[in-house]
Amino acid sequence: MIFPSALYGASGWVGPATGGGMLAAIGLGGLVVTLALVLYRVFTVVRVGASLDAFVPSVIIRGLRLIGILGMLVGLLGSLALFFVEPIAVALFGQPGDAGIAFFITGLYAYGISQFSLPGILLFEFSRLLGFEQHMQAERSRRASQPAP
């Protein structure tokens, strides 16, 4: 979700219009670090199945989780739209216009929509962290209230 939009935001006419996107903001090194973090997370999930456990003890955490999931889905749709800019532009505008401005506008909006994925991922992971912390705190209180053998 992140990488197609990061590269698109730095390419062609979209780069100057968006300030270069994520690639300009964090640079190629930052993009490599982000990729390394994503690969580490995937490796952790594959190696330790319990790393996907999520505790949703409250309505607030459930809400954060839902908003994060929706953000990821919207960002995914925007990222997928980047691969289909031409057919979407033709379907919306009928003709590309002068110098293909319809493609540019459609790509710019798809790029903007794809930017919802990173905040969605961060919010989702934050909700997991809050849920895990509440679960661990409840577990500690439960153990402390049990009589010692």
Provide the pLDDT confidence category of residue 68 given band limits of 50, 70 and 90.
very high
pTM metric for this prediction: 0.72
Please compute, for residue 54, the number of CA atoms within 13 A of its CA located in the half-sphere on the CB side.
14
3 has pLDDT over 60: no
For residue range 71-120, list pLDDT tens digits in order.
Answer: 999 999 988 888 888 888 889 888 877 777 888 888 888 888 988 988 99
- Report the C-alpha gap between 78 and 93 in whole angstroms: 18
Confidence of residue 14 (pLDDT cuts 50, 70, 90): low
Per-residue model confidence as pLDDT tens digits over 118-148: 899 889 989 988 888 888 888 888 888 887 6
CA distance 79 to 23: 15
